[in-house]
């Protein structure tokens, strides 16, 4: 079995022609979990999921941007709650790591922590999985929040962090996902080796571009096949077993 599921892609960020081409060229890609950036992103993902049966939507608010007004955020949560039957997960949500390292950052992290907790509570209330943007020093804060609200189905997408944080995520039964940069990034290879295969999924985070053998190419879910072969080699697990485990992990995590 070589079926795959792209567990984290921003399909709404591709133009219509790119989406159509992608759907016509999927190679054993059974599903795409398309995460959202803001309200308009949620609406487009909802639209795409109605057109393409392979697309499943997650609704949320990407943290690497300024938080909207109280009215704007209330509109977002109202829309999400009214479209609960369309969402497979809460996401993408988390804390703004890259935004805080930019020269233009002049905000407090407090409002982002409060907003993330609203999403975590929504996931708890609706018993939905949650897809997280939380890396490096933000990981302990997010782990503590998940523990506070007894969240079990948490997914740290494109995880990066210390070994101690990895151990905490593993102990809590959460998942990470690996991107195509596994083929050329030593940091990602270290993480992939440390995590048990039973707690790993695969993603593209498209349209984010990749380097190495993917340089100059539009990010496509088919790239995951190369990721899986590399993961199989790194972990010394037969490639067929790697495919099967990753597929089952994702199906069970998102309750597909």
**Residue ranges of the domains in the chain?**
4-253
> What is the model's pLDDT at position 243?
98
pLDDT for 237: 98
Distance CA 132, CA 139 (A): 10
DSSP secondary structure string for all residues of 90-116:
EEEEE--HHHHTSTT--S-SHHHHHHH
pLDDT, residue 227, reads: 98
Scored b (16 or more CB within 10 A) or e, 71-82 reads eebeebbeebee
The rounded distance, in Å, linking the Cα atoms of 225 and 188 is 17
Q: In this predicted structure, what is the pLDDT of residue 206?
A: 98
- If one counts every other C-beta atom within 10 angstroms of the C-beta of residue 54, the result is 18
Question: Rounded CA gap, 121 and 212, in Å?
Answer: 39
- Predicted pLDDT at 104: 85
pLDDT, residue 66, reads: 94
* pLDDT tens per residue across span 27-50: 999 999 999 999 999 999 999 999
pLDDT of residue 1: 66
**pLDDT reported for residue 113:** 98
Look at residue 161 in the predicted model and tell me its pLDDT. 96
Fold of 4-253: TIM Barrel (3.20.20)
Q: What's the pLDDT at 106? A: 85
- Point out the residues of the chain with pLDDT beneath 70: 1
Q: Would the pTM of this model clear 0.95, i.e. be above it?
A: yes
């Amino acid at each position: 079995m070589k079926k795959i599921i792209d567990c984290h892609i921003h399909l709404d960020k591709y133009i219509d022609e790119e989406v159509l081409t992608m759907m016509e060229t999927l190679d054993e890609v059974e599903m795409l979990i398309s995460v959202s950036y803001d309200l308009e992103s949620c609406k487009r993902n909802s639209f795409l999921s109605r057109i393409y049966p392979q697309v499943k939507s997650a609704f949320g608010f990407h943290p690497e941007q300024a938080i909207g007004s109280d009215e704007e955020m209330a509109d977002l949560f109202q829309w999400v709650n009214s479209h609960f039957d369309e969402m497979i997960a809460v996401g993408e949500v988390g804390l703004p790591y890259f935004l805080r390292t930019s020269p233009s950052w002049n905000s407090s992290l407090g409002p982002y922590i409060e907003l993330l907790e609203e999403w975590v509570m929504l996931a708890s209330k609706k018993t939905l999985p949650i897809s997280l943007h939380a890396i490096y020093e933000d990981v302990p804060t997010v782990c503590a929040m998940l523990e506070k609200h007894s969240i079990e189905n948490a997914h740290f997408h494109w995880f990066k962090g210390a070994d101690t944080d990895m151990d905490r995520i593993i102990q809590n039964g959460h998942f990470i996902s690996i991107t195509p940069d596994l083929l050329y990034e030593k940091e990602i290879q270290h993480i992939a080796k440390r995590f048990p295969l039973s707690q790993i999924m695969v993603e593209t985070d498209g349209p984010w571009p990749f380097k190495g053998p993917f340089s100059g190419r539009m990010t496509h879910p088919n790239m995951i096949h190369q990721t899986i072969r590399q993961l199989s080699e790194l972990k010394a697990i037969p490639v067929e077993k790697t495919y099967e485990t990753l597929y089952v992990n994702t199906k069970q995590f998102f309750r597909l």
